[in-house]
Amino acid sequence: MSDYGHDLVFGSFVTPSADNADRTVGVAVLAEQVGLDLVTFQDHPYQPAFLDTWTLLSFVAARTSRVHLSANVTNLPLRPPAVLARSVASLDLLSGGRVGLGLGAGAFWDAIEAMGGRKLTPGQGVRALEEAIEVVRQLWDVETRGGVRVDGEFHRVVGAKRGPAPAHAVPIWLGAYKPRMLKLTGRRGDGWLPTLGYLQPGDLTRGNAIIDDAAQQAGRSPRDVRRLLNIAGEFSRVGRSPLNGPAEQWAEELAELALEEGVGTFILGSDDPDDLRRFAGEVAPAVRELVAAERDRGATPQRTPEPEPEPVAAPPVRASRATASGGAFAVVPTPDDGVRRSEQQVWDESTRPTGPAPDPQRTYTPQEQATGAHLVQIHDGLRAELAQIHDLIEQVAAGEIDAGAARSHINTMTMRQNRWTLGVYCESYCRIVTTHHTIEDQSFFPRLRARDPRLGPVVDRLEQEHHVIHDVLEGVDRALVAYVGSPDGLAELRAAVDLLTDALLSHLSYEERELVEPLARLGIA
């Protein structure tokens, strides 16, 4: 058994599709919103269907504030290591220390050669990668006097000035499968990053042994090397195969990989928003709980007795009022502040029914609280987007931004002038709200009503309010049309968005107040 005792990290592996660049960025931003720790993109510069990975990483870094970012893994043969080192350090400084560096020796050599790269044998690729790691680390090492000196077989950097230093100790994770690469990972890497689908039974155990032996021969602790794993699967009601079943099955299987194979970082390859939500909201908390329980019982011996080093590869776990933890119910609904922007009222809030009071003696597991926490996180995303719309409207009204500034500010899609910018952004947001409500009406609400009939009046009222909000959204759409067609349409648009704000914020708070505890109590995912 190889539990290295690393804290657990959960991330996403997003396809850098160029066909729908806005959706690619949106999926990455969603990963942060649902509470994942890491967002990664594959790097294939010869693939015209993909966005350039380092440009995309920079763009996503500007759209996010907490999640860590990395290529999975960087195509080294087409990215000179000295330039790459400065790119990584620059993005790490600009993002506040949120960048990791995944590196690979290279693959698809014909395509690499077609792009101007040098075609290497597997052995040459490993030697070139080791030289590149030395170049990168010397560039980052600003404490050592003198220039960089690496006079290698494949990379020659002699006299280059050092710096800039990244904002934090950027971890270097190696995509490795064969013994030479695994030994290099043990000697020089901060992490091992394979893909589960490319491994055969026993490969994780054998790979760990090679890495551990190489690390010890180099005077390192095996625990200095974080074990990361790209995974893929399907969420289904009934378990059919590994990582093909309910979230509970996923949690048990990933906990076993953590405890038996030492995996500390799980990266889900999926562009499906629902997969990311379930992975972050249901699987991750359950895996953490299972692993913590086993470690507390001492059921899994540590492979090495050394104390855990200061972590540099693990992003912080998100902590917010929507974070689920065991014990008393800890998910805090967002209160309604009572502020109203519009003189119009779409419903009488005093007639809203309430559900049964919670049992003050009951305790809740993290898995039970995860759905309510996820609901609050989704709502927080809607609230943040709504605030951005208001801010954009005011800036456009004041003449403070043009099309380029608006695009930079909201980072959504290509825009040519203010009115089109505002229209497309609002329309996209309105579609998100409508989809969210449709999911609730067709999934959560029927199960809540069936499992606790006392919630029936609350669910009925929430469904009625969804219909009202739909009508308000239609009003926003009509105001958008008027605004695009007339320079005098801004007042009508502002009024429509004010009414939407009043209705939506009031509704979201009411829904959280009445549902986050029942979702946990009734075990609804």
Q: How far apart are CA 66 and CA 319, in angstroms?
A: 11
Distances (CA, A) of 508 to 145, 494, 516: 58, 21, 11
What is the pLDDT at residue 150? 97
What is the pLDDT at residue 31? 92
**Least confident among 259-273, 398-412, 462-476:** 398-412
Q: May I ask the CATH class of domain 9-297?
A: alpha beta
Instruction: Beginning with the edge strand found earlier in the chain, give each strand of the sheet holding 263-269 in spatial order.
Output: 68-71, 38-41, 9-14, 263-269, 226-231, 191-192, 172-174, 101-104, 74-75
For 42, the 3-state DSSP assignment is: coil
Q: Where does the pLDDT of residue 425 fall: very low under 50, low under 70, confident under 90, or very high at 90 and above?
A: very low
Distances (CA, A) of 282 to 34, 83, 432, 517: 11, 40, 22, 16
Local structure of residue 364 (DSSP, 8 states) = B
For 99, the 3-state DSSP assignment is: strand
Q: How far apart are CA 364 and CA 360, in angstroms?
A: 11
Query: Is this structure's pTM higher than 0.75?
Result: no
Distances (CA, A) of 326 to 77, 171, 511: 47, 32, 23
> What number is the average pLDDT over the span 379-392?
74
Q: Where does the pLDDT of residue 419 fall: very low under 50, low under 70, confident under 90, or very high at 90 and above?
A: very low
Tokens of 260: 């038996």
Tell me whether domains 9-297 and 360-521 share a fold: no
- Tens digit of pLDDT for each residue in 499-517? 989 998 999 999 999 998 9
User: How many of the other CB atoms lie within 10 Å of CB of 320?
Assistant: 12
CA-atom Rg of the chain in angstroms: 25
CB 100 within 8 A of CB 68: yes
What are φ and ψ of residue 266, in 5° steps? Answer: -115, 125
Q: How far apart are CA 516 and CA 383, in angstroms?
A: 17
- Domains of the chain, by residue range, sit at 9-297, 360-521
pLDDT at 396 over 90: no
Sign of the torsion angle spanned by Cα atoms 67, 73, 77, 78? negative
Choose the CATH number for 360-521 among 1.10.340.30, 3.20.20.140, 1.20.120.520, 3.40.50.10420: 1.20.120.520
| Alpha helices, H only, 399-489 | 403-410, 418-439, 445-451, 456-485
Counts for the chain of helices (H) and strands (E), in that order: 16, 13
Q: Where does the pLDDT of residue 115 fall: very low under 50, low under 70, confident under 90, or very high at 90 and above?
A: very high
